[in-house]
Structure 1
Amino acid sequence: MTGPAPLLEIRDLSVHFARPRPTIFHPAEMLRAVDHVDLTLHEGECLSIVGESGCGKSTTALAVMGLQEPTAGTVLYRGKPLNGPGAPGRKERARIAQMVFQDPFASLNPRISIGRMLLAQLSLHGIASGSEARDRVAEMLTRVGLSPDHARRFPHEFSGGQRQRIGIARALMLDPRILVLDEPLSALDVSIQAQIINLLMELQERLKLSYIMISHDLSVVEHVSDRVAVMYFGRVVEEGGWKQVFTTPTHPYTRRLIDSVPDMDAVLAQRRELPPPAPVPDGARFSPDISARPDPRTMPEPSHLATIGPDHRVRLAGKAP
């Protein structure tokens, strides 16, 4: 017996970019930013895509949003394609998915007031106008923890946490079913991050939203996610329920990511004396050891995700059968 159909499906998604050639005599090379990615998002769940910078998670999110054209593959919403021939237009797609950006200040127009910015969305999509639109803006600002009077203010008059609340309000104005959260907490103070997390979880439950969260903060991912996908050099190397991935990480890269999260209880329980600082060679202070990182141009053929337990898959070496 099969479960409910997924809300969003990413099938064999690839996004490749041409590398600049030193001269016309050098052969063309492609950067495989996203390579054969398969993911699903179900109604009302939060799927987190994690990995270090440059692994392809943000490019995957841009492809879902339609802001980056895939080289190959399909993105399906309720079984219907969002890219390729017959795909919905930009306006229709905006009613399906919206994005909350990493830097709330950079994502807001400093020249217009918050109320005018939110009203413009309703007017552009023909949803509401006049007093009805103003009432809707006031209701949305209240829903994200702001005051309706804030509609007259400009972005520079708000704190970082308030700006992110405005970004969330803007994303919700068109009643989308999916929010793509691109590092929504990384630009905020730690004291504000908990407030935004609580707001996102409250809105998800109240509005029956589905989230795709792009993050490198595993402590946040563990707290808010239903399922987790770990990306490495453009490929998903492990995917499954957050409990399975965090308690029994199988892929070496997943284990390395989880081991990098500091255990503050263990740190505070031990009293350690710090050794004297070692001399730093000239030019080596900001030179990380990358000898263990593979060259993506010489990596083997794409491998497959094998099921190793209930809602837990990991990438194995070799081609898919």
Structure 2
Amino acid sequence: MNAPLLSIDDLHVRFPLSGSWFGRQRRMLHAVNGLSLDLAKGECLSIVGESGCGKSTTALSVMGLQEPTQGSILFRGKPFSGPQAPSRMERAMAAQMVFQDPYASLNPRQTVWQSLAQPLRLHNVTARSELSDRIETVMRSVGLTPEQATRYPHEFSGGQRQRIGIARALILQPEIVVLDEPVSALDVSIRAQIINLLLDLQEEFGLSYLMISHDLSVVEHMSDRVAVMFFGQIVETGPWSAIFSDPVHPYTRRLIATIPDPGAVLGLSREAVVDGPAQAPAGWRFADDGSSAPDVTQEPKPSELVEVAPGHFVRLSRS
């Protein structure tokens, strides 16, 4: 197999919950606990889970906006985090991010042309002709006209603003694009257009997507693989078809059950998707009846990912 484009190994991110007085150890919030994932070239890997499970913290760590407490992130086999990480400018050439709110992520006082030209200038692309050519090309790629680059963000609809956000992410020609809930702030009628645009751009430029989402219908349309995250750990990962048609972990089964019509994903009955195996194994600190939540201020109990089908892994407790 080819080496992964991005490799996350044993990632931990902790935040202090209280100060340290008289030598007493501070209580820590374990936002991400031993997360390991690989992203292949040209792949879309989606991390799904409820709010607060650590999805966005993982994405920020990949982008260099949150320093990991422990673990490593490698890009093409070389350190992408820690003391040996490349500079912020070099990282920007490798990975960019499309944010959830397309209006808040754009400077209202800058025209689209200025917003797109700024990262190019920071990377020493200063010739007016080259700036114009690059901006014109990326505007056409996202379905906008070069003439629209003279406008300000408030002059565009939500869908158009998200296209501008995508254009800004692509202007430096990165290999990885982190998608943080890319369509959740858009009207339902616009979401399909943006999803199709992202898929077309992925094929055209060979992009690799790391998508953060809670919308399982979007995940089903865009993903090659899905990683289900629960309180800082990956509890199940595999091809999207396996996750949706044969969820093994109790939390994954409950997550799939939240889809209004989960059977529509693969033409299955609701019972086939929700119930899954008759005796699903208990996962990391997740009671079978769902009555208890993990204590995120404590180290997780020993657990391991077990391959239950080719490429389909589930985290099982060893205790």
Preserved CA contact (<8 Å) 2:176 2:210: yes
Equivalence for 2:129: 131
Question: What SS class does the counterpart of residue 49 from structure 1 fall into?
Answer: strand
1:226 CA drift (Å) = 0.3
Deviation string, structure 1 residues 90-143 (Cα, Å, up to 9, x no partner): 111000000000001000001110101111111110235211211211111111
Greater shift in the superposed pair: 304-313 or 94-103: 304-313
Q: Which amino acid aligns with 1:179?
A: V
After the TM superposition, list the runs of 4 or more consecutive aligned residues in structure 1 that deviate by more than 3 angstroms.
21-27, 297-300
Distance 1:299 1:18 in 2: 14
Distance 1:86 1:257 in 2: 38
Q: Which amino acid aligns with 2:216?
A: L
Distance 1:186 1:131 in 2: 36
Superposition pairs for residues 62-81 of structure 1, below 5 Å? 62-81=60-79
1:243 CA drift (Å) = 1.1
Question: What SS class does the counterpart of residue 84 from structure 2 fall into?
Answer: coil
Equivalence for 1:313: 313
State whether structure 2 residue 219 is matched by structure 1 residue 221. yes
Deviation string, structure 1 residues 203-236 (Cα, Å, up to 9, x no partner): 0000000000000001110111000000000000
Superposition pairs for residues 203-218 of structure 1, below 5 Å? 203-218=201-216
Equivalence for 2:187: 189
1:28–1:265 distance in 2 versus 1, CA, 3 Å? closer
Preserved CA contact (<8 Å) 2:96 2:169: yes
Q: Which amino acid aligns with 1:233?
A: F
Distance 2:204 2:169 in 1: 15
1:191–1:30 distance in 2 versus 1, CA, 3 Å? same
Greater shift in the superposed pair: 174-183 or 121-130: 121-130
Which runs of no fewer than 5 residues in structure 2 stay unpaired? Answer: 265-289
Preserved CA contact (<8 Å) 1:122 1:129: no
Question: What SS class does the counterpart of residue 307 from structure 2 fall into?
Answer: strand
Equivalence for 2:38: 40
Equivalence for 1:296: 296
Q: Calculate the aligned-residue CA RMSD, in Å.
A: 1.9
Preserved CA contact (<8 Å) 2:55 2:229: yes
Query: Which of the two has higher C-alpha Rg?
Result: 1
1:20 CA drift (Å) = 2.3
Equivalence for 1:241: 239
1:76–1:300 distance in 2 versus 1, CA, 3 Å? closer
Equivalence for 1:261: 259
Residue among 99, 108, 115 paired with 2:106: 108
Residue among 46, 51, 54 paired with 1:53: 51
**What is the total number of aligned residue pairs between the two structures?**
294
Equivalence for 2:153: 155
Deviation string, structure 1 residues 220-272 (Cα, Å, up to 9, x no partner): 10111000000000000001111111111000000000011011889xxxxxx
Q: Which amino acid aligns with 1:247?
A: S
Which runs of no fewer than 5 residues in structure 1 stay unpaired? Answer: 267-289
Preserved CA contact (<8 Å) 1:56 1:233: yes
1:22 CA drift (Å) = 10
1:91–1:298 distance in 2 versus 1, CA, 3 Å? closer
1:86 CA drift (Å) = 2.2
Query: TM-score under structure 2 normalisation?
Result: 0.88
Distance 1:28 1:85 in 2: 25
1:305–1:28 distance in 2 versus 1, CA, 3 Å? same
Distance 1:79 1:264 in 2: 38
Equivalence for 1:284: none
Query: TM-score under structure 1 normalisation?
Result: 0.87
Deviation string, structure 1 residues 17-72 (Cα, Å, up to 9, x no partner): 01025987975211000000000000000000000000000000000000000000
1:207–1:26 distance in 2 versus 1, CA, 3 Å? same
Distance 2:145 2:295 in 1: 51
1:297 CA drift (Å) = 3.6
Q: Which amino acid aligns with 1:135?
A: D
